[in-house]
Chain A
Amino acid sequence: MLDASDSYVTEDGRTIGGVVMEMKNITLRFGGVVAIKDISFDIRQGEIRAIIGPNGAGKSSMLNVISGFYNPQEGQVFYKGKLRPSMRPYQVARQGIARTFQNIALFEGMTVLDNIMTGRLHHSKANLFEQAFWKGRAEREEVANREVVEKIIDFLEIQTIRKTPVGRLPYGLKKRVELARALAAEPSILLLDEPMAGMNVEEKEDMSRFILDVNDEFGTTIALIEHDMGVVMDLSDRVVVMDYGKKIGDGTPDEVRNNQDVIDAYLGVAHD
């Protein structure tokens, strides 16, 4: 087994670093319902880490714990080697963790460009007064932010819809815009909640390519939840499998695929 600080090189030539985020014995309850039961796993620098499981397994809850939206009742989250105290989501975002949502959460009336610009919020320091008068720092920052955003627009090939209001876009493109906004924050960890839900095969292929390219070009660590097993197995370096709030498998796609508990969870067995 690898140590937390070890790094290795994957078959396709990417370098995966040491552990950047670690979940230790996380338990999350909503009243009497236990959504996550004593789960531990880690995410390594530069890897694509998938969380899979049947409906209601607790995947989204797990992602929400990582993004700081939920604070677990038990367990600890270590980020870059330090214990992370309970935080508000915006504080987590400032630490370099960005996410997309299962049900797209964009500003429908705003243009694609403006939506993506909101992802730069944490990179602007100008105050309200400066913003209002568009002087000095505000202007410089806006120009710098726009440059970053334009690179992302180019990267995700959405130049055509730059000035289109998001409400007019088809579903697949909205997903891409949401990814763009998350990327605009220049995150070190990117959380994707079902990035391919509801897409057709072609859109899924495009999205897979973008996820791989993001990981490859920017070295962004990616944690994603996905239902489509084919996609997960192709994309990810390591997979966590959850069922009924418990972790039932963890390892490379091949290991997970041959894990009897995982097969049972997906194909179904009688529960006692």
Chain B
Amino acid sequence: MNKSSPATDGLVSIPALLKRNVKTFGAKTAYREKEFGIWQTWTWAEAAQEIEELALGLLNLGVAEGDFVAIIGRNRPYFYWAMVSIQSVGAIPVPMYQDSAAEELAHVLSNCGAKYAIVDDQEQVDKVIEVRDQLNDFEHMIYVDPRGLRKYDHSKLHEYSHVQAQGRAAQEEFLPELERRQAKLDFDSTCVMLYTSGTTGKPKGVVLSNRNIIKSAQNTSEFDGLRKDDEVFAYLPMAWVGDFIFSIGQAYWTGLTVNCPESAATVSSDLREIGPTYFFAPPAVFEKHLTEVMIRMEDAGAFKRWLFRRYMDHAKKVGPAILDGKPVNAMDKLKYKLGELFIYGPLKNTLGLSRIRVGYTAGEAIGPELFDFYRSLGINLKQLYGQTEASVFITLQPDGEVRADTVGVPAPEVELRIDDSGEIFYRSPGVFVEYFNNPDSTASTKDAEGWVATGDAGFIDEASGHLRIIDRVKDVGKLADGSMFAPKYVENKLKFYPDILEAVLFGNGMDRCVAFINIDLTAVGNWAERNNIAYASYQELAGHPRVLDTIQSHVEAVNRSVAEDPMLSGCQIHRFLVLHKELDADDGEMTRTRKVRRKIVEEKFSDLVTALYDGSDEITTETEVTYEDGRKGSIRATLDLRDAEVVPTFQHKVAAE
């Protein structure tokens, strides 16, 4: 790849890419959406026509260069077209989460001073109208679905198709202006503005230029060999940078087809019908699919279950090796082929994953079991690491070098640097321009040389050269002996066990680590039922000696795995307890998005932490709980504190045998 070539033969904007696509393969399918029970399709030429009509209509409405236009809706071709129409007239699309509450929309809309919004239906129209008073700059709204909106005041409200019709009618008048504005777009013009999810404070608008999007799309399309006959399934929020890169960036760069589901509720059956070749899902989605499969298998007949188990075991043994192209003996290969015919093939078909060439997961750590399940079926599932500020891609796993515990090598043209505290920095053509109207945040995230701080701590795995993510930098601490304390790294390993719902590791500044564990009531309750263990409450089940034995074995297994890592071997769990109540957002122990609030847990259960460190065998405690209706009560419990076997770090090579 020639890094110095300015781009890409004049392909410096999405509208320019659209022109090329129409010229070189205009009759190829660009978009599909299931509507009225059928997959409706639009070719690149048809899509370009729709986009041009809408762009002319936007000119007719008075959209000026540099205006921000919000897009609020689920994944539909209309909104993808709208993004490109907005870019064509020199304005900036701002896709938003369609499930945001009105107040959240108000913040984002007023933050960027959006003058226009293109929205889905009555629900979204109502939300914007509700906060209309707080928005000084807001002018017109365009909706796609007219249902229920006929009686609304239409002086500032327009139907999408009417805007297009007006654009069509005014074509002669506005076409020269449209062409003039399109011609002005260059590599530095803003391509899109995306808001961060705002888990830490108010959402910030990330400004991404055409260079960011197009170079990132180009590099990664080449990295994975994406081509125009690939199919991508667009079902993740349009406000998320990933969807923008996959469904706009890479789709326009390569010409692949973007498929939109009929509704949010039909995603899995639509996925099955489309069978995408390029697919992204967060680990939770893969986990849900696996659970569904397993539950259905439990209901199957004995023979089928036997067959399934037998072949899945075989797949686990040789599947990943076959996928990576490593040598496998002929007998195993033959058996795998048989399995493909009878088990793996039909299973992948049910999951809608039979045609996957490139699949990615990211966002949080994925359990090795889960990851290997999909890989052993022959699905090329890989991990990537990225963020909005990087136009997604920081690292990617190349084909044939996929591991559950790393996130891969730097994407093309991405430079990585890890500072003394372990924080990861990167620099790439995808690095964002700025946070909108927020020079302070921009300066504290991106330095003058273009290096961006991720806020994540990690290290490069020496053996493979892959990046490994440990934790958020602010959560990483040091043990008393100076070795690294990375709680999330260990907690994730624990949470990969279905029995364990949550884990909280303590040890910052101490000489060793201890842990709280929450059991998963569904999984453990199920186990108890099958083993004839009677229990009356969560608390009782959590204190059952056999449950504690099981958890102890998990903890010790995690210790062994943590010990293999010389940097983190200090994080092994010396003592643990199983909490008598579930950590709960109502009690303030977790956020609403189910992230543990470490500080609060540590304060609230300080007696338990102390007991874990002072070596006592059991402790009686009383905890205040808040019921769902806001009433308060308290529960009392006597908890067993257990010692877990740890692997001595200085001789871990011997112990690991």
Contacts and interface: CB of A to CB of B under 8 A. Distances in A.
Interface of A: 12-14, 113, 146-147, 150-151, 153-155, 157, 159-160, 162, 209, 213, 216-217
Contacts of A153: 36-37
B148 A213 contact: yes
B262 interface: yes
A154 B266 contact: no
Contact of B266 (A13, A146, A159): A159
A173 to B, nearest CB: 12
Nearest to B151: A13
Contacts of A157: 263
B37 A150 contact: yes
Contacts of A147: 36
A131 to B, nearest CB: 21
Interface in B123-149: 147-148
18 contacts: A12-B151, A13-B151, A150-B36, A150-B37, A153-B36, A153-B37, A155-B147, A157-B263, A159-B37, A159-B265, A159-B266, A160-B266, A160-B269, A162-B37, A209-B148, A216-B148, A216-B151, A217-B148
Interface of B is mostly: loop
A209 to B, nearest CB: 8
Interface in B75-133: none
B150 interface: yes
B35 interface: yes
Given A159-B262, A159-B263, A159-B265, A146 B147 contact: no
Nearest to A146: B37
Contact of B36 (A13, A151, A209, A217): A151
Contact of B147 (A12, A159, A213): A213
Nearest to B146: A217
A160 B148 contact: no
Given A13-B151, A216-B148, A160 B37 contact: no
Interface string B7-51: 000000000000000000000000000011110000000000000
A160 B36 contact: no
Contacts of B262: 159
Contacts of A12: 151
Contacts of A14: 151
A159 B36 CA distance: 8
B147 A217 contact: yes
A74 B450 CA distance: 89
A154 B76 CA distance: 15
B151 to A, nearest CB: 5
Contacts of A162: 37
B265 A160 contact: yes
Interface centre among B36, B150, B266, B269 (most CB of A within 10 A): B36
Nearest to A209: B148
Given A151-B36, A154-B35, 8 more contacts: A12-B151, A113-B37, A150-B37, A153-B36, A160-B263, A213-B148, A216-B148, A217-B147
A151 B266 CA distance: 16
Interface string B254-271: 000000001101100100
A125 B479 CA distance: 82
Contacts of A155: 147
A213 B145 CA distance: 13
Nearest to B35: A154
B263 to A, nearest CB: 5
Contacts of B148: 209, 213, 216-217
Nearest to B262: A159
Contacts of B37: 113, 146, 150, 153, 159, 162
Nearest to B265: A160
A224 B266 CA distance: 32
A63 B574 CA distance: 75
Nearest to B261: A159
Nearest to A151: B36
B397 to A, nearest CB: 34
B14 to A, nearest CB: 30
Contacts of B36: 147, 150-151, 153-154
Contacts of B263: 157, 159-160
A113 B262 CA distance: 16
A40 to B, nearest CB: 32
B200 to A, nearest CB: 34
A117 B602 CA distance: 61
Across chains A and B, which 7 residue pairs bring their CB atoms closest together, nearest first? A150-B36, A160-B265, A13-B151, A150-B37, A159-B262, A160-B266, A159-B263
B73 to A, nearest CB: 16
Nearest to A14: B151
Contacts of A113: 37
A13 B154 CA distance: 13
Nearest to B263: A159
Contacts of A217: 147-148, 150
A217 B146 CA distance: 10
A162 B36 CA distance: 10
A213 B151 CA distance: 11
A216 B266 contact: no
